[in-house]
Amino acid sequence: MTDLIKHHTALLVTALSAAVLGIAVILFFAFWKEERKEPDLVVVSPHPKAFMISLIKEFENETGIKTEVISLGTSDALKRIMDDKDVDVLWGGSLLTVSSYEEAFYPYHTENREAFEDRFDGVDERITCFTLVPSVIMINMDLIGDIEVEGYEDLLDPRLKGRIAFADPGKSSSSFEHLVNMLYAMGNGDPEKGFDYVEKFCENLDGVLLSTSSEVYEGVANGKYTVGLTFEEAAVTMLKSDKHIKIVYMEEGVVFTPDGIYINDLSERKDKAEAFVDFMTSRNAQSFITANLGRRSVRIDVTDSDIVAPFDSVKTIEVQTENVIGNKDRWIACFEEILKRGEP
């Protein structure tokens, strides 16, 4: 009899344990599902992660909109937003690179446009200007020695052969910006004449062509390359991280191009995407960006950081936007052909 009681008791304990375990599993997956709930907004972006973290956190705190950010290069980000209706916003990518895809975006007029600089008045409402992103040359001061680099012409110094970091302009919008900049600068306003310089520049690359913009500024900052063609904010970030680098604004002239925020026309969460645009172009967000993140604001009521060169101290170059957009694919193909001819 005692053995029978012990047996039934053991069965009861086992059953209760299984029940408790089952409840625990159910509760765990319920909690896990809650923790992993779908985001309210999906953003794809080529911005450096360090640039995005604080802005996204503040956006979520202010609006309550849970945001997922997918980090991709500009060309891959464009493909993703056009192929996936669940991607709501493309955050970043210069107007010269992205404007040719504007039919894929939803027109939205944020009230913040009223505070934008006059130069952006003619920008299509499918595109919202975000920040100004001038091209710069970044120099590793531990490696440069007595080589003087003040502009594009100096990059042809034979001592820099194979020591220049430059990304594929077909993959990186910041490198395409540099390609446009050098074509106009070295062609004295005629980009077609600038290809004579591109021939010499590609020869000095010595077959080195990187895949992403981050490889450029990180490679220079970490001593893999002596100089790199990058964008101002990346160089400022490296400078603020105590990297021994110098920022050079090309003496031949600098193109100041805005990047943008673009809402997917297929998005089913356009109200939340609009809130994202409103927040990122607000005076508070733009002031934070200029004070802490090395970018220049598109707003007339926000002052640039002391770290960047004053706008009026830099020789600037104006480009014909429609000409750039219309020739983008051909110019990239020409660059690739020139580079290929120089391969061993």
Binned at pLDDT 50, 70 and 90, residue 20 comes out as: very low
Percent over 70 (pLDDT), the chain: 89
Low-confidence winner among 29-43, 162-176, 306-320, 324-338 (lowest mean pLDDT): 29-43
CA angle 44, 266, 171 (to 5 degrees): 35
Burial of 235 (0-12, 13-18, 19+ CB in 10 A): buried
**Is pLDDT at 164 greater than 60 in this prediction?**
yes
Tell me the fold of 41-132+257-308.
D-Maltodextrin-Binding Protein; domain 2 (3.40.190)
Binned at pLDDT 50, 70 and 90, residue 100 comes out as: confident
Specify the 3-state DSSP secondary structure of 141: coil
Residue 33: predicted pLDDT: 38
Residues 247-268: b if buried by 16+ CB within 10 A, e if exposed: bbbbebbbbbbbbbbbbbbbbe
Percent over 90 (pLDDT), the chain: 75
Across 222-241, average pLDDT = 93
Residue 97: predicted pLDDT: 85
Residue 24: predicted pLDDT: 44
Q: Are strands 89-94 and 256-263 parallel, antiparallel or unpaired?
A: antiparallel
CA dist., res. 111 & res. 281, Å (int): 9
CA dist., res. 97 & res. 182, Å (int): 16
**Is pLDDT at 324 greater than 90 in this prediction?**
yes
User: DSSP letter string over 56-67?
Assistant: HHHHHHHH---E
Is the distance from CB of 340 to CB of 203 less than 8 angstroms?
no
CATH code of 134-255+317-341, in short, is 3.40.190.10
Across 68-91, average pLDDT = 93
Q: Which residue has the higher pLDDT, 191 or 22?
A: 191
**Is pLDDT at 2 greater than 70 in this prediction?**
no
Largest CA distance in the chain: 105
Terminal Cα distance for the chain, rounded: 92
The length of the chain in residues reads 344
| Average pLDDT in the chain | 89
User: DSSP letter string over 103-156?
Assistant: GGB-----GGGGGB-GGGTTS-TT-EEEEEEEEEEEEETTT-TT---SSSGGGG
Across 150-173, average pLDDT = 96
**Is pLDDT at 1 greater than 50 in this prediction?**
no
**Is pLDDT at 21 greater than 80 in this prediction?**
no
CA dist., res. 41 & res. 247, Å (int): 36
Is the distance from CB of 257 to CB of 232 less than 8 angstroms?
no
Binned at pLDDT 50, 70 and 90, residue 12 comes out as: very low
| Cα Rg of the chain (Å, integer) | 26
CA dist., res. 285 & res. 7, Å (int): 69
Does the pTM surpass 0.75? The reply is: yes
Is the distance from CB of 236 to CB of 133 less than 8 angstroms?
no
Residue 29: predicted pLDDT: 39
Indicate the helix (H) or strand (E) that contains 257.
strand 256-263
Binned at pLDDT 50, 70 and 90, residue 231 comes out as: very high
Do 41-132+257-308 and 134-255+317-341 come out as alike in CATH topology?
Answer: yes
Is the distance from CB of 124 to CB of 242 less than 8 angstroms?
no
Cβ contacts of 20 within 8 Å, gap of 6 or more: none
Is the distance from CB of 46 to CB of 72 less than 8 angstroms?
yes
CA dist., res. 178 & res. 238, Å (int): 19
Is the distance from CB of 166 to CB of 175 less than 8 angstroms?
yes
What is the residue extent of each domain of the chain? 41-132+257-308, 134-255+317-341
